[in-house]
Chains A and B, each alone.
Chain A
Amino acid sequence: MSEAASLTSEAPQSAPAASILSVNNIEVIYDHVILVLKGVSLEVPQGGIVALLGANGAGKTTTLKAISNLLRAERGEVTKGSIEFEGRRVDALTPNDLVKSGVVQVMEGRHCFEHLTIEENLLTGAYTRSDGRGAVQADLEMVYSYFPRLKERRGSMAGYTSGGEQQMCAIGRALMSRPKMILLDEPSMGLAPQLVEGIFETVKRLNEAEGVSFLLAEQNTNVALRYARYGYILESGRVVLDGDAEKLRENEDVKEFYLGLSASGRKSYRDVKHYKRRKRWL
């Protein structure tokens, strides 16, 4: 913990831009008994890409679902802390209202509507909009321009498309709601490295051209830190380290634990285990 603290103090919040999303010290409990998040705080600057990193079960998905208010459908609730989007408390909004105000989540494992065609999937994303058919049609073309592959497969049932196409479909569907911010959960899951690269390139382009802010949860630390500008590392429900992406990449412990590199070159698996046992995050 001391190390974590020192790193953040060395690098004072290098996000001078106003934050679009701020999560303050939230605690999440499932089923009234299982404490999953033990006080997580994070900020996403306007127009930023922020990565939420950590191993399985660290609480990345829970954090995203707490923000998008999908927790209640899984018997979870935010018991402490607050979540603000554009300076407004959003903890009590329904997912429907939240999407209307500009936050949309792309869930882990893609979750396309299998029996709907790709195009129908995209159109469901525009459900909350009321600005007319023309605007929706224009955005459909916009999504197709980012994902030309989807245009080729617009008539196929989503359940029969490949994993990469489904991930594009899920992101495209989220875009159709004209979000200001997308919560992206494990976009790399189950995809070939080349596809992962492509997805992240598109995220970057969307961020630059459409001004969409991203908060992305990833296990693939290496890719995530190359595209994100800022990162938080979660471990068993707490933020243990945060900082600019470059700084995190240089950090010895991140290299050791998340990037599989270390100063002393490759180690044998036995040594790594030994090392891990000796030195742990709090």
Chain B
Amino acid sequence: MNATATRFGIWMALVPLLIAILGLGLQGLAIIDTSLFFTWGYFLEVLIAGLLQGVLYSLVALGFVLIFKASGIFNFAQGSMVLFAALTMVGFIEMGLHWTLAFILAAGVMVVLAIVIEKVVLRPMVNQPHIILFMATIGIFYFLDGFGQTLWGSDVKVLDIGIPKDPMFVLPNVFEGGILINSFDLVAALVGAVLVAVLAVFFQYTRVGRALRAVADDHQAALSVGIPLKTIWAIVWSVAGIVALVAGIMWGSKAGVQFSLALIALKALPVLILGGFTSIPGAIVGGLIIGAGEQVAEVFLGPLVGGALQDWFAYMLALGFLLFRPQGLFGEKIIERI
């Protein structure tokens, strides 16, 4: 864990340097090819918007990491859990409840859902190969997708819990016109940061958190010291459900609650490959890199290739990573004693 922390620190220290190099590169390109446009103020603006967007990717990726870490299952249904949670939340708000109460109820629903999934789907398949469990999560994906819409309707819904959405202009003295930051994105990023901090403390310092990590390392040994796998799985799915709820609220208030929410899971995939499937800091850093990278690429390099870079940039980046660092930036190396 210490090694991870050190690596995290080094990366954080390198960030301003990387940003400066990236900016200089783009500036150089703009000089060579006059069809490209570049100013430092605009560059930072796009970068910050991208980073904040990246936090939302991280929130989704986090749900995957939690379940993958504890049970080795790649939970395809995470995306539909995000949708289902957001739909439930909106449903409760439409019933006239205050959003805090709706949040608590929706969190309760996600916990119940986790327990049901553990009992009905995971328990009967406990000794099956991982691919079978993965298939089962595809089933859960479509079930939740349909069930949520049957329950709450399939219209596009507006979710508003009062997060300010006004644009802010910062540093007007340094850059001409200042840098535009969306205050909603800023709030979402803060919420994400708090959630991650809470999870990190939970995993690192509590008895259950330790047991979760133990189960992630070695099921058999965890059983042999008396850690009940079933309880642990129910807890992990509950936590992943609540993370999905937070992600759903943030995405939902940004883009409306609708079916396409379930598909942001696809954007979480490159984030996971970048950050490593087993690492919480990895999910965060991966999300930030993907978010910032695709925004900057779209705005400054898009004109070179005729746009729509945003749709595939993340996957290209992930592909590159798979070639050179398959366990991701922070993924747990397989410890092999020689």
What residues of chain A have their CB less than 8 Å away from a CB belonging to chain B?
A: 68, 70, 73-75, 94-96, 98-100, 104-107, 111-117, 120-121, 123-125, 127-128, 155, 157, 159-160, 163, 173-174, 176-177
CB of B121 closer than 8 Å to a CB of A: no
Q: Is B219 an interface residue (CB 8 A)?
A: yes
Q: Is the Cβ of B220 less than 8 Å from the Cβ of A107? A: yes
**Distance in angstroms between the alpha carbons of A197 and B198 in the assembled complex:** 46
A113 adjacent to B226 (CB under 8 Å): no
Asked whether B221 lies within 8 Å of A73 as measured between CB atoms, the reply is no
Across-interface contacts of B335 in A (CB, < 8 A) = 114-115, 157, 159-160
Let me know if B36 is at the binding interface, CB within 8 A.
no
Quick check: B218 and A127 within 8 Å, CB to CB? no
Point out the residues of chain A lying under 8 angstroms from B226, CB to CB.
95-96, 98-100, 104, 127-128, 177
A34 to B132: give the CA distance in the assembly, Å: 24
Residue numbers in A under 8 Å from B2 (CB-CB): 155
Task: Assess whether B217 is in contact with A115, with CB atoms less than 8 Å apart.
Answer: yes
With beta carbons under 8 angstroms apart, the residue of A73, A105, A155, A159 that contacts B126 is: A73
Q: List 11 A-B contacts (CB under 8 A).
A: A68-B224, A70-B223, A94-B228, A96-B226, A111-B221, A112-B218, A115-B1, A124-B227, A127-B227, A157-B335, A177-B226
Q: Say which size band chain B's interface belongs to.
A: 20 to 34
Q: Which residues of B contact A117 (CB under 8 A)?
A: 1
Given the complex of chains A and B, what is the CA–CA distance between A123 and B225 in angstroms? 10
Interface of A is mostly: mixed
- B211: Cβ under 8 A from any A Cβ: yes
Q: Do B127 and A124 touch (CB < 8 A)?
A: no
Question: Which chain A residues lie closer than 8 Å to B227 at the CB level?
Answer: 96, 124, 127-128
Return chain A residues, CB-CB under 8 Å to B219. 73
Residues of B within 8 A of A107 (CB): 220-221, 224
B residues 123-145 with Cβ under 8 Å of A?
Answer: 126-127
| Interfacial chain A residues near B94, Cβ < 8 Å | none
* Cα separation A155 to B222 with both chains bound (whole Å): 20
B278 nearest in chain A by CB position? A115
Q: Which chain B positions have C-beta within 8 A of A120? A: 210, 213
Q: How far is the CA of A261 from the CA of B89 in the complex (A)?
A: 76
